[in-house]
Amino acid sequence: MKRIKWSSELLPTTAYLDNILKQERYKKRYRSLLASTVSVLTVVAAIAILVATLLLPVLKIYGSSMTPTLEEGNIIFSVKGMEMKRGEIVAFYYNNKVLVKRLIAFPGEWIDIDDTGYVSINGEPLDEPYLKEHAKGDLNIDLPYQVPEGKYFVMGDHRSTSIDSRNTAVGCVAEEQLVGRIVFRVWPLKKAGRIR
């Protein structure tokens, strides 16, 4: 067996060892920072998903039943758990879809629609400044119509094309079907803002 002679030329210098030590410390700090960043981003993403699912569902509009208020491709926020008022826009589940219409009448109220499409609730004309047109639309219910208990009467703003509570295909909306009130449009950016 050969003996190896060590000389001072073969031994690492202090500067070399300091440099290796600095590199190892940097790698350790980098891994720690990366792990904490990934953890924070994961928590933020989970919170955002929970908020979007439970409190502020984000919806995309399909179809033209709510034009001109909402148009196809608009992206909107809805808010759950707030008291609804007549004339507000609501989202609700219907046949594995989410539909968006305007709340017109509450449980127990009587609704009537004349031949020109003007609506009255309990004999009083309904003021609808959001409409560009009035139309009787696709109606197959007997008028005047009393909204059943625990249900809401909804209509689209584009009355001539909207299929809504005026037709038994959709009918009145039960409380458990409601997703929430539509409050804010986020897309397109030029129309972003509160929805009325």
Structure tokens at 169: 């295909």
Same structural domain, 106 and 34: no
Assess if residue 21 is contained within a domain: yes
Same structural domain, 73 and 87: yes
Spell out the per-residue pLDDT of the chain, length 196, in tens. Answer: 566 555 556 677 777 777 888 888 888 888 888 887 887 777 776 666 555 555 556 666 777 677 787 777 787 777 776 678 888 888 888 888 878 889 999 999 999 889 888 989 998 998 888 888 888 888 888 889 899 998 999 998 888 888 888 888 888 888 888 887 887 777 776 776 677 6
Assess if residue 81 is contained within a domain: yes
CATH of the domain at 102: 2.10.109.10
Euclidean distance between CA atoms 65 and 61, whole angstroms: 10
List CB contacts of 59: < 8 A, sequence separation 6 or more: 75, 76, 77, 78, 91, 98, 100, 179, 182
Q: Please state the domain count of the chain.
A: 2
Same structural domain, 101 and 18: no
Same structural domain, 79 and 122: yes
Structure tokens at 84: 């609804």
Name the burial class of residue 61, with classes exposed (0-12), middle (13-18) and buried (19+) by CB atoms within 10 angstroms of its CB.
buried
* Candidates 32, 36, 60, 65; catalytic one: 65
Domain carrying residue 33:
11-55
Catalytic, 65? Answer: yes
Under 8 Å between Cβ of 101 and 152: no
Same structural domain, 83 and 63: yes
Euclidean distance between CA atoms 172 and 180, whole angstroms: 15
Assess if residue 6 is contained within a domain: no
Same structural domain, 33 and 69: no
Same structural domain, 21 and 90: no
* Candidates 101, 151, 162, 165; catalytic one: 101
pTM for the predicted model, two decimal places: 0.65
Euclidean distance between CA atoms 113 and 137, whole angstroms: 10
Question: Mind listing the pLDDT tens digit for each residue in 115-168?
Answer: 888 989 998 998 888 888 888 888 888 889 899 998 999 998 888 888 888 888
Assess if residue 1 is contained within a domain: no
